[in-house]
Structure 1
Amino acid sequence: MYKSIQDILPNQVVEAIRSVAGDEVAALHEPSFDGNEWLYLKQCLDSTFVSSVGKFVDRFEKDLSKFTGAKHVVAVVNGTSALHIALKLAGVKAGDEVLIPALTFIATANAVTYCNAIPHFVDSEIGTLGVDAIKLRNYLIDYTDQRSGLCINRYTGRVIRALVPMHTFGHPVDIDGLLRVASDFNIAMIEDAAESLGSYYHGKHTGTFGILGTLSFNGNKTITTGGGGAILTNDADLACRAKHLTTTAKLAHLWEFSHDEVGYNYRMPNLNAALGCAQLERLPFKLAAKRALYERYQNAFAKVAGIKLMAEPSKCHSNYWLQTLLLDSENSNMRDSILKATNDAGFMTRPAWTLMHELAPYKECPRMDLSMAQTLAKCLINIPSSAGLVVDQL
């Protein structure tokens, strides 16, 4: 009996994944601990410095600075807190609007609301899965005015203070285009590089282009500190202020507890940093493994019609954090059947996030036309992406 693509494609995707990942159950992205993790954790415990003061916190910040090229790094408890503080340092105030992609993880929007500001959702492009700089420029021309060096939303009267592009699944966004938009419209740019440690745009590490950038080291990221994040900046004053705000705004003194403003208990504990130092030592190997995994998936899916594997943008070097399938638009109605078939086969897959403007807390937020983000949300599938899937074959 003739079988349609609706019958064939889910099975083809399962077999393509199996040809790369093998027959065992495969998680979407799990951490690997194959370096000095146990050694450094024991050293940390033996020192008794397990909270936010200790040599591993300082070392982790220095090692991250060296790896990313950012002049200053401040380690914090997670990527959301990093973005919260970065927004405050960029001058975001209560009642401001902040441009963020509708296609992102909810932490991007939540960090904006922590500042009592309003997320303003913008569209993405298919080549990078990140903010569409050309479409954004045209939108701002039509919907904003410049007054006293500020970008004003013509319809709400609010200041659009910042733009937060996110490097989706590790693929660098069109940074040059977005920097030009930010400059031309007097908007601060902060990079949400939570997913892109080890990704480069035209030879420079992501998170180092805007006035500030942020990273995440959650358990599912390329390297993990359990929970953790970091603020990146080339501005010494901003770095100093970031460290002050994330250490409860406590003034240095041998015994007095004096705080000069509302601060946040956001500093990364030494235990987490010890894990991070060991993970960072193995990062080049993990990145090589993830690139090898991409190449094997690319070969496997080259034979599957109606679907393609996302590749790094031109002149960029992606960390390939999550390997991502993009269904042809005419096959978007098959997304859920593919998700079911793969998960039933023991291969953890997932769709992209629910678009931000569709979530209950953010339904009333301002937004531009989001047609591409809406298309992408129906067509994207993340597949097993752990570096460990190929580590034994390298």
Structure 2
Amino acid sequence: MVEKFQKTVDFVKSQYPDKNFIALHEPAFFGNERNYVLDAIDSTFVSSVGAYVNRFEEMMAELTGAKYAIAIVNGTNALHIGLVLAGVKSNEEVLSQALTFIATANAISYINAIPVFVDVDQETLGMSPQSLRDFLVHHAEKRADGVYNKTSGRRIAACVPMHTFGLPCKIDEIAAICEEWGIFLVEDAAESLGSYYKDKHTGVFGKIGVFSFNGNKTVTCGGGGALITDDEEIAKRAKHLTTQAKVPHKWEFVHDEIGYNYRMPNLNAALACAQLEQLPLFIENKRVLAERYLDFFSKMGIQFMHEPQSSRSNYWLNALIMDDLEERNALLTFTNDNGVMTRPVWELMNRLPMFKHCQTDGLENSIWLADRIVNIPSGFRP
């Protein structure tokens, strides 16, 4: 086992020959980042109004194929406002997955809604359409005013699947199930900028899709997010709510409902625009690395998470599937002790104290994967 782990460390280091310590994912700034940020500073428009905010929204709409994009201060807030726009109310339920970053479950909690966790597919790491359908068939019923959980008695208001590590889930099937049951779909595409499923960019399969531009994402602006939609009314309301629900006026401060200070600052947008210009290069670079990993680990007898069928992944974070928990922990210890940063997948949401009361469907695949996943360095290689 030690020999196999040493070969792993040596191969990862060979992909980043100029680094003594290989981080999991570092940002790469070598385009117009400095020029655009300085231009934003010189303009004096550094907060949530500015030319780069508008440009960022135009670039995101063009990239994803959505009609509208709204710049948000971060991905978690984009999820939150997406659920508000979906009409989710306090004490209602939102179907999601336990194998996800905490932002997904936190955003649901911000409106005092309750997450319900269904299982994922092993080949995508994202929500399983079959698990979603089985849960609804066995636990839900349609009523005149919506879909209700027969066990809890609460209305099921929305569904939030996530494209884990940039690997697209079977989102078309999930969208069809949500349409059949009348459940609002908010697509958590936080990690999948530049990923496609059946030739469509992630985030466009439901009425709302959200993205993150955190410091460790494929494209980053330090902190940032975006909400996309084809619905004009949703887009208008998203911009209104994220601008403190201020009624437009040259000098008066009138607000017509509870709003949020969620707009992305122009400084961040300037950085994001420069990064978006380089997205094709970033993804090409990451896909070459993924193919090298696939070839190496296949020869080593270790499963590497390759992009699922009918998809094209951005390979945001590469992942290995180890044989068991013991081997996973041994690899994590060896790599981190030898200059290569690796990490396990997030703790399953239902195992955290604030979500342990939430209903699940058993989460067989999620539990199996949580014991085996190891993320390995995935950043841009100069």
TM-score band by shorter chain is: over 0.9
Q: For 1:167 and 1:8, locate their aligned partners in 2 and report how far apart those are by CA, in whole Å.
A: 33
Q: Is the 8 A contact 2:118 2:135 kept in 1?
A: no
1:153 has 2:149 as partner: yes
How big is each residue's C-alpha offset from its partner over 1:355-392, in whole Å with a ceiling of 9 and x where there is no partner? 000001111111111111000001100000001x2x3x
Counting only pairs closer than 5 Å after superposition, residues 54-69 of structure 1 correspond to structure 2 as 54-69=50-65
Q: Conserved in 2, the CA contact under 8 Å of 1:75 and 1:268?
A: yes
CA distance in structure 2 between the partners assigned to 1:362 and 1:58 by the alignment: 38
Indicate conservation of the 8 Å contact 1:20/1:296, yes or no.
Answer: no
Match of 2:257 in 1: 261
Which AA in structure 2 matches 1:262?
I
Aligned partner of 2:314 among 290, 301, 319: 319
Q: Does 1:136 find its partner at 2:132?
A: yes
More moved, 9-18 vs 266-275: 9-18
1:107-146 pair list within 5 angstroms: 107-146=103-142
CA distance in 2, matches of 1:310, 1:20: 18
* AA aligned opposite 2:337: D
**Partners of 1:21 and 1:127 in 2: how far apart?**
28
Note the 1:154-193 alignment, pairs <5 A.
154-193=150-189
Q: After TM superposition, list the pairs within 5 Å mapping 1:1-394 onto structure 2.
A: 5=1, 7-22=2-17, 24-305=20-301, 307-328=302-323, 331-387=324-380, 389=381, 391=382
Cα distance in structure 1, aligned partners of 2:146 and 2:4: 51
TM-score (normalizing by structure 2):
0.98
Counterpart CA distance in 1 for 2:294 and 2:140 is 43
Whole-angstrom CA distance in 2 between matches of 1:131 and 1:351: 19
The DSSP-based 3-state class of the residue aligned with 2:173 is: helix
Task: Report the Cα offset of residue 18 of structure 1.
Answer: 2.9
Question: Structure 2, unaligned stretches of length 5 or more?
Answer: none
Deviations 1:166-208 (A, max 9, x none): 0000000101210121122221111000000000000000001
CA separation in 2, counterparts of 1:164 and 1:80? Answer: 13
Give the AA of the match of 1:20: Q
- Alignment RMSD: 1.1
Counting matched residue pairs gives: 381
Work out the CA distance in 1 between the residues paired with 2:298 and 2:134: 36
Alpha-carbon distance in structure 1 between the residues aligned to 2:165 and 2:346: 11
2: CA distance, partners of 1:159 / 1:358: 24
State the distance in 2 between where 1:312 and 1:346 align.
Answer: 27
SS of corresponding position for 2:211: strand
* Contact residue 16 and residue 301 of structure 1 kept, 8 A: no
Cα offset for 1:15?
A: 3.1
TM-score, normalised to structure 1, is 0.95
| Residue 149 of structure 1: how far off its partner (Å) | 5.0
The amino acid of 1:380's aligned partner reads I
